A = this chain, B = another copy of it.
Amino acid sequence: MLTRTTLPPTMKAVAQLAGVSTMTVSRVVNGVEVVRPDTVARVRAAIEQLNYRPNTSARMLAVQEQVGVGVLYSNPSGGYLGEILVGLLEGSGHQQMPARVVLDKCPPGASEVERATELIASGLQGLVLPPPLSDNAELLDAVEAAGTPVALVASRPPGPQRDLVSTVTVDDAAAAQEMTRHLIGLGHRRIAFIRGPLSQAASRHRLEGFQRAMAAAGLAVAPELVVDGDFTYRSGLDAAERLLAQAQAPTAIFAANDDMAAASVAVAHQRGLHVPGDLSVVGFDDTAIATTVWPELTTIRQPIAEMSCRALQILVEQIHDQVNRHLISPENVVLGHTLVRRQSDAPPRVRPAVRASPSAVLDP
Protein backbone atom coordinates (compact mmCIF):
# COMPACT_ATOMS: atom_id res chain seq x y z
CA MET A 1 0.00 0.00 0.00
CA LEU A 2 2.91 2.27 0.73
CA THR A 3 4.55 3.32 -2.49
CA ARG A 4 7.87 4.81 -1.57
CA THR A 5 9.01 4.75 -5.16
CA THR A 6 6.90 7.82 -5.98
CA LEU A 7 9.17 10.82 -5.70
CA PRO A 8 7.72 13.88 -4.03
CA PRO A 9 6.49 16.63 -6.39
CA THR A 10 8.97 19.38 -7.18
CA MET A 11 8.65 23.04 -7.89
CA LYS A 12 9.05 22.30 -11.57
CA ALA A 13 6.01 20.05 -11.54
CA VAL A 14 3.96 22.76 -9.90
CA ALA A 15 5.21 25.31 -12.42
CA GLN A 16 4.25 23.12 -15.34
CA LEU A 17 0.80 22.42 -14.00
CA ALA A 18 0.19 26.11 -13.32
CA GLY A 19 1.70 27.18 -16.61
CA VAL A 20 4.30 29.47 -15.08
CA SER A 21 8.03 29.37 -14.37
CA THR A 22 9.55 27.92 -11.22
CA MET A 23 10.52 31.46 -10.30
CA THR A 24 6.89 32.42 -9.95
CA VAL A 25 6.13 29.36 -7.90
CA SER A 26 9.02 30.29 -5.66
CA ARG A 27 7.59 33.79 -5.27
CA VAL A 28 4.19 32.45 -4.31
CA VAL A 29 5.62 29.97 -1.87
CA ASN A 30 7.66 32.66 -0.20
CA GLY A 31 4.85 35.18 -0.15
CA VAL A 32 6.55 37.77 -2.33
CA GLU A 33 3.88 40.38 -2.90
CA VAL A 34 4.49 41.27 -6.53
CA VAL A 35 2.71 38.34 -8.17
CA ARG A 36 -0.66 38.96 -9.87
CA PRO A 37 -3.58 37.65 -7.79
CA ASP A 38 -4.92 35.31 -10.47
CA THR A 39 -1.44 33.89 -11.01
CA VAL A 40 -1.14 33.33 -7.28
CA ALA A 41 -4.44 31.51 -7.31
CA ARG A 42 -3.39 29.27 -10.18
CA VAL A 43 -0.12 28.38 -8.47
CA ARG A 44 -1.84 27.77 -5.15
CA ALA A 45 -4.25 25.41 -6.83
CA ALA A 46 -1.42 23.48 -8.44
CA ILE A 47 0.40 23.26 -5.12
CA GLU A 48 -2.71 21.94 -3.48
CA GLN A 49 -3.46 19.45 -6.22
CA LEU A 50 0.06 18.03 -6.21
CA ASN A 51 0.35 18.31 -2.43
CA TYR A 52 3.63 20.04 -2.99
CA ARG A 53 5.97 20.77 -0.09
CA PRO A 54 9.16 22.71 -0.65
CA ASN A 55 12.34 20.71 -0.28
CA THR A 56 14.05 22.28 2.69
CA SER A 57 17.49 20.94 1.86
CA ALA A 58 17.40 22.63 -1.52
CA ARG A 59 16.15 25.81 0.02
CA MET A 60 18.83 25.91 2.67
CA LEU A 61 21.49 25.19 0.13
CA ALA A 62 20.28 27.92 -2.19
CA VAL A 63 19.86 30.64 0.39
CA GLN A 64 23.19 29.83 1.94
CA GLU A 65 21.72 30.28 5.32
CA GLN A 66 21.48 27.68 7.98
CA VAL A 67 19.65 28.56 11.10
CA GLY A 68 20.75 26.99 14.35
CA VAL A 69 19.46 27.77 17.80
CA GLY A 70 20.80 26.57 21.11
CA VAL A 71 18.73 25.57 24.10
CA LEU A 72 20.68 26.13 27.27
CA TYR A 73 19.18 24.64 30.37
CA SER A 74 20.07 23.87 33.94
CA ASN A 75 17.86 22.23 36.51
CA PRO A 76 15.36 20.67 34.16
CA SER A 77 12.57 21.00 36.66
CA GLY A 78 11.01 17.60 36.18
CA GLY A 79 8.62 17.37 33.26
CA TYR A 80 9.44 20.87 32.11
CA LEU A 81 12.36 20.00 29.88
CA GLY A 82 10.53 17.15 28.25
CA GLU A 83 7.65 19.37 27.25
CA ILE A 84 9.97 22.08 26.04
CA LEU A 85 11.68 19.61 23.78
CA VAL A 86 8.38 18.32 22.47
CA GLY A 87 7.49 21.85 21.45
CA LEU A 88 10.88 22.47 19.94
CA LEU A 89 10.75 19.31 17.88
CA GLU A 90 7.32 20.11 16.63
CA GLY A 91 8.40 23.62 15.85
CA SER A 92 11.66 22.73 14.15
CA GLY A 93 9.93 20.31 11.84
CA HIS A 94 6.74 22.04 10.73
CA GLN A 95 8.49 25.19 9.72
CA GLN A 96 9.25 27.08 6.58
CA MET A 97 12.86 27.34 7.52
CA PRO A 98 13.66 24.43 9.75
CA ALA A 99 16.20 25.12 12.41
CA ARG A 100 18.91 22.93 13.74
CA VAL A 101 18.40 22.83 17.49
CA VAL A 102 21.28 22.06 19.78
CA LEU A 103 20.74 21.13 23.38
CA ASP A 104 23.19 22.10 26.04
CA LYS A 105 22.97 21.33 29.71
CA CYS A 106 24.69 23.75 31.99
CA PRO A 107 25.97 21.77 34.99
CA PRO A 108 25.57 23.34 38.44
CA GLY A 109 29.19 24.38 38.72
CA ALA A 110 29.73 25.77 35.24
CA SER A 111 29.51 29.43 34.35
CA GLU A 112 26.31 30.05 32.48
CA VAL A 113 27.73 33.05 30.69
CA GLU A 114 30.73 31.08 29.51
CA ARG A 115 28.54 28.27 28.33
CA ALA A 116 26.29 30.56 26.34
CA THR A 117 29.27 32.27 24.77
CA GLU A 118 30.63 28.94 23.65
CA LEU A 119 27.30 28.00 22.11
CA ILE A 120 27.22 31.22 20.15
CA ALA A 121 30.84 30.79 19.11
CA SER A 122 30.03 27.29 17.84
CA GLY A 123 27.87 28.85 15.15
CA LEU A 124 24.43 29.09 16.71
CA GLN A 125 22.58 32.29 15.94
CA GLY A 126 19.93 32.25 18.62
CA LEU A 127 19.28 30.98 22.14
CA VAL A 128 16.23 29.61 23.91
CA LEU A 129 16.36 30.00 27.67
CA PRO A 130 13.95 28.23 30.03
CA PRO A 131 13.84 29.12 33.73
CA PRO A 132 15.83 29.61 35.82
CA LEU A 133 18.38 30.74 33.23
CA SER A 134 15.76 33.07 31.78
CA ASP A 135 16.05 35.20 34.89
CA ASN A 136 19.79 35.58 34.87
CA ALA A 137 20.36 39.23 33.98
CA GLU A 138 24.09 38.79 33.65
CA LEU A 139 23.53 36.04 31.13
CA LEU A 140 21.12 38.18 29.12
CA ASP A 141 23.64 41.02 29.14
CA ALA A 142 26.34 38.76 27.77
CA VAL A 143 24.20 37.24 25.04
CA GLU A 144 22.92 40.60 24.00
CA ALA A 145 26.43 41.96 23.89
CA ALA A 146 27.22 39.20 21.41
CA GLY A 147 24.34 40.45 19.25
CA THR A 148 22.46 37.18 19.52
CA PRO A 149 18.66 37.14 19.77
CA VAL A 150 17.21 35.23 22.71
CA ALA A 151 13.79 33.85 23.48
CA LEU A 152 12.76 33.31 27.10
CA VAL A 153 10.23 30.62 27.85
CA ALA A 154 7.87 31.00 30.80
CA SER A 155 9.50 34.02 32.32
CA ARG A 156 9.44 37.73 31.68
CA PRO A 157 12.04 39.48 33.78
CA PRO A 158 11.37 43.05 34.81
CA GLY A 159 13.22 46.11 33.61
CA PRO A 160 13.21 47.95 30.33
CA GLN A 161 12.58 45.99 27.16
CA ARG A 162 15.84 44.64 25.80
CA ASP A 163 16.44 44.88 22.09
CA LEU A 164 17.20 41.22 21.51
CA VAL A 165 15.17 39.50 24.20
CA SER A 166 11.73 38.10 23.37
CA THR A 167 9.48 36.28 25.81
CA VAL A 168 6.74 33.68 25.63
CA THR A 169 4.76 33.35 28.84
CA VAL A 170 1.36 32.94 30.33
CA ASP A 171 -0.07 35.66 32.54
CA ASP A 172 1.21 34.21 35.78
CA ALA A 173 -0.43 36.84 37.93
CA ALA A 174 -3.84 36.42 36.33
CA ALA A 175 -3.60 32.65 36.58
CA ALA A 176 -2.66 32.74 40.26
CA GLN A 177 -5.45 35.19 40.88
CA GLU A 178 -7.90 32.85 39.18
CA MET A 179 -6.77 29.89 41.24
CA THR A 180 -7.01 31.86 44.47
CA ARG A 181 -10.49 33.03 43.52
CA HIS A 182 -11.38 29.41 42.90
CA LEU A 183 -10.30 28.43 46.42
CA ILE A 184 -12.16 31.37 47.89
CA GLY A 185 -15.18 30.33 45.88
CA LEU A 186 -15.03 26.91 47.48
CA GLY A 187 -15.33 28.62 50.85
CA HIS A 188 -11.70 28.80 51.95
CA ARG A 189 -10.62 31.78 53.99
CA ARG A 190 -7.34 30.76 55.58
CA ILE A 191 -5.36 30.14 52.42
CA ALA A 192 -1.62 29.68 52.59
CA PHE A 193 0.78 30.40 49.79
CA ILE A 194 4.16 28.73 49.21
CA ARG A 195 6.31 31.08 47.21
CA GLY A 196 8.83 30.19 44.55
CA PRO A 197 12.28 31.80 44.54
CA LEU A 198 11.81 35.53 44.32
CA SER A 199 14.70 35.72 41.89
CA GLN A 200 12.34 34.42 39.22
CA ALA A 201 9.84 36.79 37.71
CA ALA A 202 7.22 34.06 37.41
CA SER A 203 7.39 33.48 41.18
CA ARG A 204 6.80 37.13 41.91
CA HIS A 205 3.90 37.34 39.51
CA ARG A 206 2.22 34.31 41.03
CA LEU A 207 2.52 35.78 44.49
CA GLU A 208 1.08 39.05 43.24
CA GLY A 209 -1.89 37.26 41.72
CA PHE A 210 -2.55 35.51 45.02
CA GLN A 211 -2.38 38.73 46.98
CA ARG A 212 -4.58 40.54 44.51
CA ALA A 213 -7.33 37.92 44.70
CA MET A 214 -7.24 37.88 48.48
CA ALA A 215 -7.42 41.63 48.65
CA ALA A 216 -10.25 41.72 46.12
CA ALA A 217 -12.20 39.33 48.33
CA GLY A 218 -11.55 41.45 51.37
CA LEU A 219 -9.47 38.73 52.95
CA ALA A 220 -6.39 39.50 54.96
CA VAL A 221 -3.27 37.52 54.15
CA ALA A 222 -1.81 36.51 57.48
CA PRO A 223 1.97 36.89 57.20
CA GLU A 224 2.56 33.47 58.71
CA LEU A 225 0.59 31.94 55.85
CA VAL A 226 3.02 33.06 53.17
CA VAL A 227 6.17 30.96 53.32
CA ASP A 228 9.24 30.55 51.18
CA GLY A 229 10.08 27.69 48.87
CA ASP A 230 12.50 27.33 46.00
CA PHE A 231 10.39 25.20 43.64
CA THR A 232 11.94 21.93 44.86
CA TYR A 233 9.97 19.13 46.46
CA ARG A 234 12.29 19.30 49.41
CA SER A 235 11.54 22.98 50.04
CA GLY A 236 7.83 22.22 49.73
CA LEU A 237 8.18 19.67 52.51
CA ASP A 238 9.69 22.25 54.85
CA ALA A 239 7.18 24.90 53.91
CA ALA A 240 4.15 22.66 54.40
CA GLU A 241 5.55 21.45 57.69
CA ARG A 242 5.80 25.02 58.94
CA LEU A 243 2.31 25.79 57.68
CA LEU A 244 0.58 22.77 59.17
CA ALA A 245 2.32 23.03 62.51
CA GLN A 246 0.59 26.33 63.19
CA ALA A 247 -2.10 26.56 65.82
CA GLN A 248 -4.59 27.82 63.31
CA ALA A 249 -3.56 25.86 60.26
CA PRO A 250 -4.74 26.87 56.80
CA THR A 251 -7.59 24.98 55.12
CA ALA A 252 -5.94 25.33 51.76
CA ILE A 253 -2.39 25.55 50.43
CA PHE A 254 -1.60 27.15 47.11
CA ALA A 255 1.93 26.22 46.10
CA ALA A 256 3.65 28.21 43.37
CA ASN A 257 4.53 25.01 41.52
CA ASP A 258 3.48 21.38 41.39
CA ASP A 259 6.57 19.92 43.03
CA MET A 260 5.92 21.94 46.18
CA ALA A 261 2.22 21.14 46.03
CA ALA A 262 3.00 17.44 45.82
CA ALA A 263 5.27 17.81 48.82
CA SER A 264 2.47 19.51 50.73
CA VAL A 265 0.20 16.55 50.04
CA ALA A 266 2.88 14.24 51.40
CA VAL A 267 3.22 16.27 54.59
CA ALA A 268 -0.54 16.38 55.04
CA HIS A 269 -0.73 12.61 54.73
CA GLN A 270 2.09 12.19 57.18
CA ARG A 271 0.13 14.23 59.68
CA GLY A 272 -2.97 12.14 59.12
CA LEU A 273 -4.80 14.83 57.21
CA HIS A 274 -7.02 13.85 54.35
CA VAL A 275 -6.56 15.69 51.06
CA PRO A 276 -8.82 17.33 50.03
CA GLY A 277 -11.19 16.61 52.94
CA ASP A 278 -9.09 18.26 55.65
CA LEU A 279 -6.84 20.29 53.41
CA SER A 280 -7.01 21.48 49.84
CA VAL A 281 -3.73 21.67 47.96
CA VAL A 282 -3.29 23.23 44.55
CA GLY A 283 -0.27 23.75 42.37
CA PHE A 284 0.93 25.48 39.26
CA ASP A 285 2.42 24.29 35.92
CA ASP A 286 0.68 20.96 35.37
CA THR A 287 3.92 19.03 35.05
CA ALA A 288 4.12 15.25 35.23
CA ILE A 289 4.11 15.12 39.02
CA ALA A 290 0.63 16.69 39.12
CA THR A 291 -0.90 13.51 37.78
CA THR A 292 1.66 11.18 39.31
CA VAL A 293 0.79 11.97 42.87
CA TRP A 294 -2.41 10.95 44.60
CA PRO A 295 -4.81 12.63 44.79
CA GLU A 296 -4.06 14.21 41.46
CA LEU A 297 -3.36 17.90 41.72
CA THR A 298 -5.66 20.73 40.75
CA THR A 299 -3.30 23.13 39.05
CA ILE A 300 -2.74 25.75 36.36
CA ARG A 301 -1.77 24.37 33.03
CA GLN A 302 0.87 26.26 31.10
CA PRO A 303 1.08 25.18 27.46
CA ILE A 304 4.83 24.66 27.71
CA ALA A 305 5.23 22.79 24.45
CA GLU A 306 3.36 25.46 22.57
CA MET A 307 5.38 28.11 24.32
CA SER A 308 8.71 26.66 23.31
CA CYS A 309 7.42 26.15 19.79
CA ARG A 310 6.54 29.83 19.56
CA ALA A 311 9.88 30.78 21.07
CA LEU A 312 11.66 28.89 18.34
CA GLN A 313 9.51 30.49 15.66
CA ILE A 314 10.27 33.98 16.89
CA LEU A 315 13.94 33.24 17.05
CA VAL A 316 14.08 31.82 13.55
CA GLU A 317 12.29 34.83 12.13
CA GLN A 318 14.61 37.20 13.91
CA ILE A 319 17.72 35.39 12.82
CA HIS A 320 16.44 35.52 9.30
CA ASP A 321 15.77 39.24 9.54
CA GLN A 322 19.12 39.83 11.13
CA VAL A 323 20.91 38.10 8.29
CA ASN A 324 19.04 40.28 5.83
CA ARG A 325 20.10 43.40 7.69
CA HIS A 326 16.57 44.18 8.75
CA LEU A 327 16.02 45.73 12.11
CA ILE A 328 14.58 43.17 14.47
CA SER A 329 12.22 43.95 17.30
CA PRO A 330 11.57 41.66 20.24
CA GLU A 331 8.17 40.11 20.82
CA ASN A 332 6.38 39.40 24.07
CA VAL A 333 3.82 36.70 23.53
CA VAL A 334 1.32 35.84 26.26
CA LEU A 335 -0.43 32.52 25.78
CA GLY A 336 -3.56 31.36 27.55
CA HIS A 337 -3.52 29.18 30.67
CA THR A 338 -6.11 26.78 32.03
CA LEU A 339 -7.23 25.95 35.52
CA VAL A 340 -7.28 22.16 35.54
CA ARG A 341 -9.48 20.87 38.27
CA ARG A 342 -8.64 17.42 39.60
CA GLN A 343 -8.97 15.80 43.02
CA SER A 344 -6.90 17.82 45.45
CA ASP A 345 -9.35 20.61 46.21
CA ALA A 346 -12.71 20.72 47.95
CA PRO A 347 -14.71 23.01 50.23
CA PRO A 348 -13.22 23.27 53.72
CA ARG A 349 -14.64 20.69 56.07
CA VAL A 350 -15.38 23.16 58.81
CA ARG A 351 -16.81 26.47 57.75
CA PRO A 352 -15.19 29.24 59.72
CA ALA A 353 -17.51 30.52 62.42
CA VAL A 354 -16.93 34.08 61.39
CA ARG A 355 -18.10 34.58 57.82
CA ALA A 356 -16.29 36.92 55.57
CA SER A 357 -17.77 40.36 55.60
CA PRO A 358 -20.67 40.87 53.21
CA SER A 359 -18.53 43.19 51.16
CA ALA A 360 -16.35 40.27 50.18
CA VAL A 361 -17.97 39.83 46.82
CA LEU A 362 -16.06 37.26 44.81
CA ASP A 363 -17.18 38.01 41.33
CA PRO A 364 -18.43 41.50 40.65
Contacts and interface: CB of A to CB of B under 8 A. Distances in A.
Interface of A: 1-2, 4, 7-8, 55-58, 60-61, 64, 66, 76, 78-79, 81-83, 85-86, 89-90, 93, 100-103, 120-121, 123, 125, 146-147, 232-234, 237, 259, 262-263, 266, 269-270, 272, 288-289, 292-294
A347 to B, nearest CB: 23
**Chain B CB within 10 A, most for which of A79, A123, A232, A292:** A292
A238 to B, nearest CB: 10
A146 B266 contact: no
Contact of A85 (B4, B61, B82): B82
A17 B89 CA distance: 39
Contacts of A292: 78, 232-233, 259, 262, 289
**Chain B CB within 10 A, most for which of A2, A76, A259:** A2
Nearest to A85: B85
**Chain B CB within 10 A, most for which of A61, A93, A101:** A61
Nearest to A60: B57
A79 B259 CA distance: 13
What's the dominant secondary structure at chain A's contact region?
helix
A300 B2 CA distance: 42
A294 B82 contact: no
A34 B61 CA distance: 29
Contact of A146 (B2, B60, B100): B2
Given A266-B269, A289-B292, 13 more contacts: A2-B120, A2-B146, A8-B123, A78-B78, A78-B292, A85-B89, A89-B101, A93-B102, A233-B293, A233-B294, A270-B270, A270-B272, A289-B289
B82 A81 contact: yes
A88 to B, nearest CB: 8
A86 B294 CA distance: 28
Contacts of A262: 292
Contacts of A232: 292
Which 9 pairs from chain A and chain B are nearest by CB? A82-B82, A85-B85, A57-B60, A233-B292, A57-B61, A269-B270, A57-B57, A78-B288, A81-B82
A76 B79 CA distance: 10
Contacts of A2: 120-121, 146-147
Contacts of A93: 100-102
A55 to B, nearest CB: 7
